[in-house]
Amino acid sequence: MSRFVLLLAQLLVVLLLCLTVNTSPNGPPTDAPGPPAVNSPEACTCASNAACDNATAVCTGSLCGNDGDVFTCDRNNLSLVVIASPLATIEGASLLLTCIVNLTPDDITVYWRDPEGSSISGEGTKYEISAESGAVYDLVINNSSYEDSGTYTCVAVLNEPTTRLSSVTEQVNITVYALGRIFSTPPMTIRIVAGDQLELACKAFFGLTTPSLEWVLPSQAVGGTAQITSQEEYFQGTELISSRLLVVTNVSSIHDGTYRCQAMVNETVTDTRDVHVSIVVVLLCFLR
């Protein structure tokens, strides 16, 4: 009996020693992995424009949230509206281009691009750039010239891009009229199938002067089926805009070549635009 009691006592001592080695006074074993800490990558993986909520371990942000298990962000609804006042003017006048956005400067960076695609800095006297109420961005073009005509682009870039969107652009086209300058012509190169009808329109601004606008045809096409019609219209009631429409029916290989629209003021050529026309002959082969 004494040997049994001694053996039982030894077993109890060994058990107490094991419990002392494998446990810590504050809870689980010191080398055992515990639950992930809040804000740690294991607890909360967020997009760059969101933060992990300390209490819920859920991604949140001023415009962002979770839709079920999918991270969503209202920044994906970024939109722009661009207007110009006026859309057309005469050299020397100023132009106002306005870009309206639906997000605040905290979320986006807005800038303008000129018709060549270059960013407009606003330095110097040509351009003035200003922001109003954090949602309206104005571009003023001072002392406009013929070379200022073209397409201007407002660009809004998200400061923290989402997985679906990084930037949005919107464009507006303006025209600056100059005396004796052509402002509307067909593309520089046209391909047309033989037998079809060719139409080429050209417009120029003449202000208060006598208009002189004409199409110069390739030598071999002169005297064919070409017809030219003229039309005059007025800008701001008194400033003359002249147009010439060249129509060639049933085109053939003789109409291949370069067509030139030519504007003159006081018998002096002030502007020309060339259009290169290629006639495509389609051969149909029938197998019997």
Question: Using an 8 Å Cβ cutoff, are 142 and 150 in contact?
Answer: no
- Residue 57 is predicted with a pLDDT of 67
Give the mean model confidence (pLDDT) for residues 26-44: 45
- pLDDT digits 0-9 by tens, 230-278: 999 999 999 999 999 999 999 999 999 999 999 999 999 999 999 999 9
* Bigger pLDDT: 48 vs 175: 175
Question: Using an 8 Å Cβ cutoff, are 84 and 100 in contact?
Answer: no
Q: Report the C-alpha gap between 11 and 3 in whole angstroms.
A: 13
* Bigger pLDDT: 91 vs 27: 91
20 has a pLDDT exceeding 90: no
Q: Report the C-alpha gap between 263 and 183 in whole angstroms.
A: 11
- Residue 265 is predicted with a pLDDT of 95
Task: Please state the pTM of the whole predicted model.
Answer: 0.68
Question: Using an 8 Å Cβ cutoff, are 193 and 280 in contact?
Answer: yes
Report percent pLDDT > 70 for the chain. Answer: 70
Q: Report the C-alpha gap between 2 and 13 in whole angstroms.
A: 17
- Residue 55 is predicted with a pLDDT of 66
- Residue 77 is predicted with a pLDDT of 72
Mean pLDDT taken over the chain: 80
72 has a pLDDT exceeding 70: no
- pLDDT digits 0-9 by tens, 97-145: 999 998 888 888 999 999 999 999 878 889 999 988 778 999 999 999 9
N- to C-terminal Cα distance for the chain?
A: 119
Q: Report the C-alpha gap between 201 and 179 in whole angstroms.
A: 19
Residue 282's pLDDT band (cuts 50, 70, 90): confident
User: Which residue in this structure is represented by tokens 């691009």?
Assistant: 113
Of 55-69, 141-155, 241-255, the one with minimum mean pLDDT is 55-69
Give the mean model confidence (pLDDT) for residues 12-37: 45
235 class by beta-carbon count within 10 Å (0-12 exposed, 13-18 middle, 19+ buried): middle
Q: Report the C-alpha gap between 143 and 161 in whole angstroms.
A: 37
